[in-house]
Amino acid sequence: MIMRMGAENMSRGIIGMIGSHHSHHANLDMARPTIIDLAKAAGVSTATVDRVLNGRSNVREETVRRVHEAAETIGYHGANVIRYRLLADNPEFRLGLVLQKPRHAFYQDVLRIFEAQARGCMLRRVQIVARFAETARPEELAEILLSFKGRVDAVAATGLDHHLVTQAVQTLRGNGMPVYALLSDFAQGVRESYFGTNNLKVGRIAGWFISKLARRPGKVGLFVGGPRFHGHELRETGFRSFFRDAAPDFQLLDTQINLETRQLTYEATSDLLARHPDLVGLYVAGGGMEGAIQAVREARSDLSVAPQVVLIVNELTPESQSGLQDQTVSVVLGTPIRQLAADLIGQMIATSEKGMAEMPGQRFFPSEVWTPESEFMR
C-alpha cells in the first residue's frame, strides 16, 4: 500500500508538465541547453551529437540511446527528434485498448495516460487504438474484442467476467493475439495476464480504514457493480473477511448491487442513511460513487440527521477529490495507472517478440491511498 500524501493527479500531472513547458517557452529560449551541453552530458563529441541529430547512419544505436537519455535529462529541445530517429527502423506496435464509460473522468484519464506512455515508449513506436464500451453487457465487450482481430498486435481491456468474453479471448489467442485484463480480471486461464491492484487486498484495506476511522462499532454498508465484476467480488470478499477476522464488533449489512450507476447509488445510500441511523461506514467497491458522495453530503447538511459515516471509494476523480476536500469522503483507494500503463506496454511488446506465455499470469500494483490531508495538483 502506498500512502500518497503529496501525490499528483495522474493525467493532469502529465498535462500540467506539457502546459508548463509551453507557457515558459519564451523565457527559456535564452537558457535552453545547447549542443555543447548535450555532448557534455552524453559524454560524446559535438560532432557525434550532430550526426545523431541529422540521422547519419554511422552512429551506433547504443550511442544514439545515450544521447537521447542525456537530452531528456537536461531538457534539450531536440529530444523527440532523437527518439524518432532511434525508433525509425522499428516496426510500429498497435495496442487495442477497451475501456468502460466513455464520459467518465476516470476512464478518460486512463486513456490519456496510456497515450502519453505510448508516446514516451523507447522500445517501439506504439499506437493506441481505443474503444469504449457503452454498456456493461458481455455481448458488447465480446464484440469489441473480436473487432480487433487482425487490426492490432495485442489487446488490453476493462470489463466483466462472462463466458462470451472468455470465448472471444480464446478466439483472439488462437489467432496469436494476447489479451490482457485491466483493473478487474476476466477469462482466467485464457487471457495472457491481469494488470491491476490485488482487489482482495483492496477490500481488506477499505475494511481496515472503516474500523479505525469509525467513532464506534456499528453497521457497515457495501456496494458492488454486479455479479460479473470479478474485481468487485474480490473486494467484497476481502472487505468481509477483514471484519470477520479483525473487527467482529461491526455489523455488515447485505451487499447491494448498484450497476455502477450514480442515481441508483444515490437512492440506495439515502435509503441506508434513513433506515440505519447507526450506520458508521460505507464502501463503494466499484462505480457509482458519485451518488453515494452526494447522498452523504446532503445528509451531513441536514442537522437533524448529521451521520458520522466513514465513506470509502475507489479512484481519484474530480468528484472523489471534491469529496475528500470537504471531508464527505474519508479515503480514496487508487490504482497507479501511469506505472501500470508503462509496464503493460513493455510486457505487450515483449510478448509480441517472444511469444505468449504457457501459463497465464498476473501483475499486482500497490494501491494508492488519498485522504483529506493529501496534496492535489490540478
pLDDT band at 176 (very low <50, low <70, confident <90, very high): very high
Distance of CA 104 to the CA centre of its chain: 13
- What pLDDT digit, counting tens, does each position of 188-215 carry? 999 999 999 999 999 999 999 999 999 9
Overall fold of domain 30-87: 434 Repressor (Amino-terminal Domain) (1.10.260)
What is the band of 29 on the pLDDT scale with cuts at 50, 70, 90? Answer: very low
Pull the grid cell for residue 16: 500540467
pLDDT of residue 15: 36
Which CATH number applies to 199-334: 3.60.21.10, 3.40.50.2300, 2.40.50.140, 2.60.40.10?
3.40.50.2300
**Is 34:70 a contact under the CB 8 Å cutoff?**
no
Q: What CATH code is assigned to 93-196+336-365?
A: 3.40.50.2300
Q: Read off the pLDDT of residues 333-370 as tens digits, 9 standing for 90 and up.
A: 999 999 999 999 999 988 988 888 888 899 999 999 99
For 285-341, how does the pLDDT look when each residue is reduced to its tens digit (9 = 90+)?
Answer: 999 999 999 999 999 887 555 458 999 999 999 999 999 999 999 999 999 999 999
- C-alpha grid cell for residue 185? 480480471
pLDDT reading at 4 higher than 70:
no
Task: Give residue-wise pLDDT tens across range 55-88.
Answer: 776 777 778 778 878 888 898 887 777 777 766 6
More confident residue, 90 or 220: 220
- Summarised one tens digit per residue, pLDDT across range 94-132 is 999 999 999 999 999 999 999 999 988 877 889 999 999
For 109-145, letters b (16+ CB in 10 Å) and e give bbbbbbbbbbeebeebbbebeebbbeebebebbbebb
Q: Is 280:249 a contact under the CB 8 Å cutoff?
A: no
**3-state SS assignment for residue 280:** strand
Share of the chain above pLDDT 70, in %: 88
Q: What is the pTM of this model?
A: 0.79
| HSE-up (13 A, CA, CB side) for residue 369 | 14
* 87, 214, 303, 323, 353 from 210: Cα distances, Å: 49, 6, 23, 16, 46
- Common-topology check for domains 93-196+336-365 and 199-334: yes
Run of H or E residues at 261: none
> What is the domain partition of the chain in residue ranges?
30-87, 93-196+336-365, 199-334
Q: pLDDT, tens digit, for every residue of 147-156?
A: 999 999 999 9
